[in-house]
Structure 1
Amino acid sequence: MKNAIQITLNDELLDVLTQAIKEAVKEELPKYQNSFQKDWLSTEEVMEMLNVSRRTIQNYRDEGKISYFQEGRKILYPREGIEEFLRKNMIKAYR
């Protein structure tokens, strides 16, 4: 025998609930779209992604470990290059 819960909503309450969900999704979605769809990352995003300091990122650039693009003071990193850096430096589990 299955347990079931039945909720009955009138049209007005359903519309209010639907609108609230749409607004919540509209507010939250850009946070995820920006992090998953960007081809280029800022220094702060790479720092967060690698969990390292700004100085470590600079060292990686100076040592040629990560690719980057610089225009003036703005530095951007190709997402693909950072993901490749992670793959190359991954230590596989022994088991």
Structure 2
Amino acid sequence: MEVICLQDEAFYILIEQVVARLIEKAGQEKEKWVSDEQAMLLLNIKSKTTLQKLRDEGKIRFTQPQKKIILYDRASVEAYLEQNAKNTF
């Protein structure tokens, strides 16, 4: 067995780097399907009726695994936002 000794400062720098890397990794792995609350947050809307309208018009993809559970495809929500983005002059 090998023992590695570190000074206090070097140890804390190492810990900070590990934590930063874990946070970066966690941010990269986004869920494919999001709840209605998460979809509304991404779209910056407050009305479930508006969300239903987008769903009914086929503007965002969704799945309904159970009668009262509707999940939205994160990629289609992001694509909808990109399609409606306006370039600045």
Alignment equivalent of 2:71, drawn from 68, 73, 76 = 76
Instruction: Give the number of equivalent residue pairs.
Output: 82
Distance 1:52 1:31, change over 3 A: farther
Structure 1 residues 80 and 19: alpha-carbon distance in aligned structure 2, compared to 1, 3 A threshold:
closer
Identity of aligned residues (%): 28
- 1:59 aligned residue: 53
Q: How far apart in 2 are the matches of 1:59 and 1:80?
A: 18
Shift of 1:69: 0.6
Gaps of 5+ in 2: none
Determine which structure has greater relative contact order: mean sequence separation of CA pairs < 8 Å that are 6+ residues apart, divided by chain length.
2
The TM-score with structure 2 as length reference comes to: 0.64
- In structure 1, the gaps of 5 or more residues are 1-9
**Alignment partners' CA distance in 2, 1:44 and 1:17:** 38
RMSD: 2.7
Question: Is 1:85 aligned with 2:53?
Answer: no
Q: Which whole-Å CA distance do the structure 2 matches of 1:20 and 1:90 have between them?
A: 37
- Cα 1:89–1:16 change in 2 (3 A) is closer
Query: In 2, are the aligned partners of 1:43 and 1:54 still within 8 Å (CA)?
Result: no
Normalised to the residue count of structure 1, the TM-score between the two structures is: 0.61
State the 4+ residue runs in structure 1 displaced beyond 4 angstroms: none
Give the 3-state SS of the residue equivalent to 1:64 in structure 2: coil
